[in-house]
Amino acid sequence: MTQDAGAARSYARSPGAEARLVRLADARLYLCLGLRPALPAFLDEVLAGGVDVVQLREKGLEWQPEADELAVVREAAQRRGALVSANDRADLAAFTGVDVLHVGQHDIPPRLARRLLGPDVLIGLSTHDPDQLAAAIEDPDVDYFCVGPVWATPTKQGRAPVGLELPRLAARLAPPFTPGAKPWFVTGGVDIFTLDEVLDTGARRVVVVRGITQAEEPGSAAAALAGRLRAA
């Protein structure tokens, strides 16, 4: 463990941050979405369906427009007790009141993001191979990690799919809902039709994009996914 990484846990977390960790530990369904018409109504529908975490992911937005959209997401999520995640941008996460910052392997490292954010904003990290997965489990600045993409997906252009073996490894190293095990989510091509294959790996949390955002009835799609996950 580096000195910087160890220092990240020398700060006490606030009661609000502890509550975020409790909500994260209970989360099953994580939605990533971009800008869309009638966003507040859409969010109310899918959050009522059982979405636990919402991430706004719209590449190329300037700071103020993205902050404004995050405020819309945050307002809707707070009514339902869901967590809100900023994507990549530690500066946005520091000043917009979100619950989570999610970063990739080539974004700001979690130890540096923690120095900017302090102890109370949760940090998630994408992982794509066994070494990255093991490092995320051990990293004290990472509160959860994602595993994938399991299948090729247009939302991850240029990223080769990792298949189902990596979630199987994650399930062995961090068994879901085991005391002390770090939460993790499977991502990449997950929808109601592929969910059983994901669950068969031992995973119990997923990130969904098109399976909800492109559904004819997004609220019903969210409810079906959330129901299957909570029954697993």
pLDDT in tens, 116-135: 999 999 999 999 999 999 99
Average pLDDT, the chain: 93
Segment (H or E) for 149: none
The residue-averaged pLDDT of 44-63 equals: 96
Q: Judge whether residue 157 has pLDDT over 50.
A: yes
* pTM attached to this predicted model: 0.94
Pick from 123, 96, 95: nearest CA to 109: 123
Average pLDDT over residues 140-160: 89
pLDDT at 4 over 70: no
pLDDT at 159: 78
What amino acid occupies position 177? F
pLDDT of residue 198: 98
pLDDT tens-digit readout, 170-210: 999 999 999 999 999 999 999 999 999 999 999 999 999 99
